[in-house]
Amino acid sequence: MSGPIKRIVVGITGASGAAYAARTLEFLREHTTIEADVVFTKTGRLVWNHEIGTDPENYGFKLWNPGDFTAPFASGSARVDGMMVIPCSSGSAARIAHGLNTDLVGRAADVMLKERRPLVLVVRETPLSVIHLRNLTQLAEAGAVVMPASPGFYHQPKSVQDLVDHVVARALDRLGIDNELFRRWSGLGVENGD
The answer to whether position 42 is within a domain reads yes
Q: Report the alpha-carbon distance of residue 93 to residue 96 in Å, rounded.
A: 5
Q: 190: buried, middle or exposed (CB in 10 Å: 19+, 13-18, 0-12)?
A: exposed
For residue 170, tell me if it sits in a domain. Answer: yes
The model's pLDDT over 41-59, given as tens digits with 9 standing for 90+, comes to 999 999 999 999 999 999 9
> Is position 136 within any domain?
yes
The answer to whether residue 182 sits within a structural domain is: no
pLDDT at 186: 86
List of residues 6+ apart from 105 with CB closer than 8 A: 11, 12, 13, 39, 40, 41, 44, 66, 85, 92, 96
d(CA 87, CA 85): 6
Quick check: is 184 in a domain? no
Strand spans (E) along 17-159: 34-40, 62-64, 82-88, 119-123, 145-148
190 in a domain, yes or no? no
- Model confidence pLDDT, tens digit, residues 112-142: 999 999 999 999 999 999 999 999 999 999 9
CATH code of the domain covering residue 164: 3.40.50.1950
Residues in the chain: 194
- The residues near 100 (Cβ < 8 Å, ≥ 6 apart) are 94, 106
Domain that holds residue 78: 6-174
In three-state form (DSSP H/G/I as H, E/B as E, the rest C), the secondary structure along 156-187 is CCCCHHHHHHHHHHHHHHHCCCCCCCCCCCCC
Side chain identity at 17, as an amino acid letter? G
In a domain, 183, yes or no: no
Average pLDDT over residues 154-180: 96
Let me know if residue 37 belongs to a domain: yes
Q: What's the structural domain count of the chain?
A: 1
Interatomic CA distance for residues 148 and 133, integer angstroms = 12
Q: Is 145's pLDDT higher than 70?
A: yes
